[in-house]
């Protein structure tokens, strides 16, 4: 049997899956029938089916046949959900109920401070006091060297990532990221025609040796690192690893984006990687995770060489982030209340991690918004996500965070989006029971 033949048959079947001719859960024809249709032998078809099993496009059950796997789409599984009806384990947001009334008060006060100057098209780099609030915020969690000139205001961290990817790279360029990463980074890169390449992770975060290897082989223009409570794995880079990454970046003279949106979750501040290489790094922080994603307040510290160019990008993009939000944000930071709210989120995360550990019997991280949960072997990831969804449990498949390499066979669970602890507990019990159960294929398919 020629190798080319069975691979070709596998491709034909994949094309049928992709076109919807063979939909999810569809039972593939018996070997003999497809062999007849495609003028080949049953053994060649069997080998093609096995290849598709390995690629996780289909799955085989002894005595029942081979079925098309369920592939859930990203928008289906990472979504805002109705807190009353669904158990939303998919969105990494803070526990909003806790922050509702302080945020309301801050917004009310902000509207009182609004004057005709702030209502108009103010200077596009934003009000100096708002930039200074960003300097204070980032400094509190380990960044040094920020000032009101080199700190820019963005509409959240996602906006900062998008600006930087567009400003620092060209279509066709490569960006190095952690091999499991925040899908928002991959989405920007894809829409902008940039390639992403994954760098291995270990228990301390991005591996410096592999970063060096990736730089040598793939020549990325830019490296993006999430150093604290990394999304999705929850890993936090210790200081020594941060130094090693800074050394690799400096030795190769390339750009670093340090997305420290979860830095406030560290029990003690950890010095930013950017402190070591200020002229090569762009540091992102913000209030979405500590206070509310609705504030859309991101703070971006940039090298002096890039202040003017990035200000011009912001001006061209959005002119200016809404000063109204920044009045409230600055007031929360200046009064110290923002830090108290962030600390309360951290404490809630610790409590919820403990609850998840007791109910799921799995030791995740001590703190952090998410649990990177290994799925029992008998479950296929996408199938688990869909079965969970049928029960109102919205979870994220590990495959959505994969840049390259092996399928992670994990589920990412956000422990903070469900407001009530009681509902969180119910949801975790339902997930535990589902994970323990055997999947039974609907006999009517």
Ligand X SMILES: Cc1ncc(COP(=O)(O)O)c(C=O)c1O
When the beta carbons of 224 and 246 are compared against ligand X, the nearer one is: 224
Question: Binding to ligand X by residue 145, rule CB under 6 A?
Answer: no
Question: Binding to ligand X by residue 368, rule CB under 6 A?
Answer: no
Least Å distance, CB 321 to ligand X, is 11
Question: Binding to ligand X by residue 158, rule CB under 6 A?
Answer: yes
Binding mask 207-246 for ligand X (x = CB under 6 A): -------------------x----x---------------
Question: Binding to ligand X by residue 44, rule CB under 6 A?
Answer: no
State how far the alpha carbon of 185 is from the alpha carbons of 78, 163, 223, 339, 439, in Å: 15, 12, 11, 27, 33
When the beta carbons of 259 and 387 are compared against ligand X, the nearer one is: 259
When the beta carbons of 42 and 184 are compared against ligand X, the nearer one is: 184
Question: Binding to ligand X by residue 293, rule CB under 6 A?
Answer: yes
- Which residue number places its CB atom closest to ligand X? 156
When the beta carbons of 156 and 427 are compared against ligand X, the nearer one is: 156
Stretch touching ligand X by CB under 6 A, among 102-110, 150-158, 275-283, 301-309:
150-158
Stretch touching ligand X by CB under 6 A, among 155-163, 168-176, 240-248, 383-391:
155-163
Question: Binding to ligand X by residue 157, rule CB under 6 A?
Answer: yes
Q: Which of 22, 49, 87, 182 binds ligand X (CB under 6 A)?
A: 182
Stretch touching ligand X by CB under 6 A, among 108-116, 151-159, 205-213, 355-363:
151-159
Question: Binding to ligand X by residue 110, rule CB under 6 A?
Answer: no
Least Å distance, CB 164 to ligand X, is 12
Least Å distance, CB 262 to ligand X, is 7
Q: Which of 178, 259, 382, 387 binds ligand X (CB under 6 A)?
A: 259
* Closest to 368 measured CA to CA, from 398, 345, 394: 345
How many CB atoms within 10 Å of residue 4?
8
| 3-class SS string, the chain | CCHHHHHHHHHHHHHHHHHCCCCCCCECCCHHHHHHHCCCCHHHHHHHHHHHHHCCCEEEECCCEEEECCCCCHHHHCCCCCCCCCEECCCCCCCHHHHHHHHHHHHHHHHHHCCHHHHCCCCCCCCHHHHHHHHHHHHHCCCCCCCCCCEEEEEHHHHHHHHHHHHHCCCCCEEEEECECCHHHHHHHHHCCCEEEEECEECCEECHHHHHHHHHHHCCCEEEECCCCCCCCCCCCCHHHHHHHHHHHHHHCCEEEEECCCHHHCCCCCCCHHHCCCCCEEEEEECCCCCCHHHCEEEEECCHHHHHHHHHHHHHHHCCCCHHHHHHHHHHHHCCHHHHHHHHHHHHHHHHHHHHHHHHCCCCCCCCCEEEEECCCCCCHHHHHHHHHHCCEECEEHHHHECCCCCCCEEEEECCCCCCHHHHHHHHHHHHHHHHCCCCCCCCC
Question: Binding to ligand X by residue 184, rule CB under 6 A?
Answer: yes
Question: Binding to ligand X by residue 314, rule CB under 6 A?
Answer: no
Question: Binding to ligand X by residue 152, rule CB under 6 A?
Answer: no
Q: Which of 156, 205, 227, 368 binds ligand X (CB under 6 A)?
A: 156
Size of site (CB under 6 A) for ligand X: 14
Question: Binding to ligand X by residue 254, rule CB under 6 A?
Answer: no
When the beta carbons of 226 and 320 are compared against ligand X, the nearer one is: 226
Question: Binding to ligand X by residue 292, rule CB under 6 A?
Answer: no
Question: Binding to ligand X by residue 261, rule CB under 6 A?
Answer: yes
Question: Binding to ligand X by residue 86, rule CB under 6 A?
Answer: no
* Closest to 226 measured CA to CA, from 287, 192, 195, 183: 183
Stretch touching ligand X by CB under 6 A, among 35-43, 102-110, 248-256, 285-293:
285-293
User: What does the binding site for ligand X look like in residue numbers (CB under 6 A)?
Assistant: 92, 156-158, 182, 184, 226, 231, 259, 261, 286, 288, 293, 298
């Amino acid at each position: 049997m020629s190798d080319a033949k069975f691979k070709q048959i596998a491709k034909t079947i994949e094309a049928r899956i992709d076109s919807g001719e063979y939909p999810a859960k569809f039972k593939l024809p018996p070997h003999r029938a497809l062999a007849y249709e495609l003028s080949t032998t049953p053994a060649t078809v069997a080998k093609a089916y096995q290849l598709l099993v390995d690629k996780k496009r289909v799955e085989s059950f002894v005595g029942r046949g081979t079925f098309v796997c369920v592939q859930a789409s990203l928008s289906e599984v990472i979504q805002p959900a109705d807190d009353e009806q669904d158990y939303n384990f998919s969105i990494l947001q803070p526990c909003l109920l806790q922050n509702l009334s302080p945020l309301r008060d801050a917004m009310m006060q902000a509207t009182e401070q609004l004057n005709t100057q702030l209502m108009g098209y103010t200077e596009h780099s934003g009000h100096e006091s708002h930039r200074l609030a960003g300097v204070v915020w980032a400094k509190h969690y380990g960044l040094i060297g920020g000032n009101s000139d080199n700190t820019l205001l963005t509409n959240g961290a996602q906006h900062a990532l998008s600006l930087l990817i567009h400003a620092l790279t060209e279509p066709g360029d490569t960006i190095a990221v952690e091999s499991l990463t925040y899908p928002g980074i991959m989405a920007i890169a894809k829409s902008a025609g940039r390639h992403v390449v994954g760098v291995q992770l270990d228990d301390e975060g991005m591996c410096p040796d592999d970063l060096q290897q990736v730089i040598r082989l793939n020549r990325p223009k830019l490296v993006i690192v999430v150093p604290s409570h990394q999304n999705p794995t929850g890993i936090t880079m210790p200081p020594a690893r941060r130094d090693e990454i800074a050394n690799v970046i400096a030795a190769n003279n390339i750009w670093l984006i340090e997305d420290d949106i979860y830095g406030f979750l560290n029990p003690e501040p950890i010095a930013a990687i950017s402190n070591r290489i200020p002229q090569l790094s762009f540091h992102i922080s913000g209030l979405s995770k500590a206070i509310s994603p609705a504030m859309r307040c991101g703070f971006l510290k940039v090298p002096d060489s890039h202040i003017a160019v990035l200000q011009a990008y912001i001006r061209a993009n959005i002119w200016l982030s809404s000063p109204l939000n920044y009045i409230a944000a600055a007031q929360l930071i200046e009064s110290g209340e923002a830090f108290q709210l962030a600390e309360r989120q951290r404490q809630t995360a610790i409590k919820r991690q403990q609850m998840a550990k007791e109910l799921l019997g799995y030791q995740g991280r001590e703190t952090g918004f998410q649990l990177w949960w290994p799925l029992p072997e008998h479950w296929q990831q996408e199938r688990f996500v869909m079965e969970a969804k049928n029960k109102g449990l919205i979870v994220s498949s590990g495959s959505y965070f994969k840049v390259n390499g092996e399928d992670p066979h994990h589920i990412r669970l956000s422990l903070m989006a469900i407001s009530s602890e009681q509902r969180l507990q119910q949801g975790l019990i339902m997930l535990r029971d589902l994970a323990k159960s055997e999947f039974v294929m609907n006999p009517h398919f």
